[in-house]
Every structure is written in structure tokens, then in C-alpha cells.
Amino acid sequence: DRRDMKLSIPIVLSLVLIITEGEAFIFRRKFQGYGRGPVNKFKIKRPRPSYGPPKSSYGPPKPSYGPPKPSYGPPKPSYGPPKP
């Protein structure tokens, strides 16, 4: 059972990397230390061909970052009314 758990860890990581191809770029640097061999191979193979797709995946997140900024605006005025 313990062996299965160890095997499941890399499988889960690989699935996460596949799902987050765009994020794989950022995690690649952090995971380089963790992935001594096999993980790096998977990441190197994925990112190269996925240079195009990741860009599109990076697009959606950017707009999502936009809304939060305006959301920061309203809170400020909301602080005003409470005082009076």
C-alpha cells in the first residue's frame, strides 16, 4: 500500500501539471529542485510544445485579476459612509 501511495504522488503531480500547463512554467522553477529527473523530463516536454496554449491559458487569468482591482475601489468609499 505504501508503495502505491508513493507512485500515486508523481501521478497526481503529473496530472496537476497537465491541467495547469500554463502554471507549469512558474512551478517548473520551484519543482526543478523536487523533480530530480522524471518530473523535469515531463515538464520540459510539455512546456516546449505548449508554448502556444499556455499563452491562451495566461489570458483568462489576467482578466480575472482585473476585476479584483475595481473591487478594491468600492471598499474605500464603503469605509467613508460608516464613519458618518
Taking only the tens of pLDDT, the chain with its 84 residues reads 666 667 787 778 777 766 666 555 655 565 555 544 454 455 544 444 444 444 444 444 444 444 445 444 445 554 555 556
Residue 81 lies in a domain: no
| pTM for this model (two decimals) | 0.20
Q: Where in the sequence is the domain holding 26, given as residue range(s)?
A: 2-59
Q: What is the pLDDT of residue 50?
A: 44
Residue 66 lies in a domain: no
Residue 84 lies in a domain: no
> Distance from CA of residue 43 to its chain's centroid?
13
Domains contained in the chain, number: 1
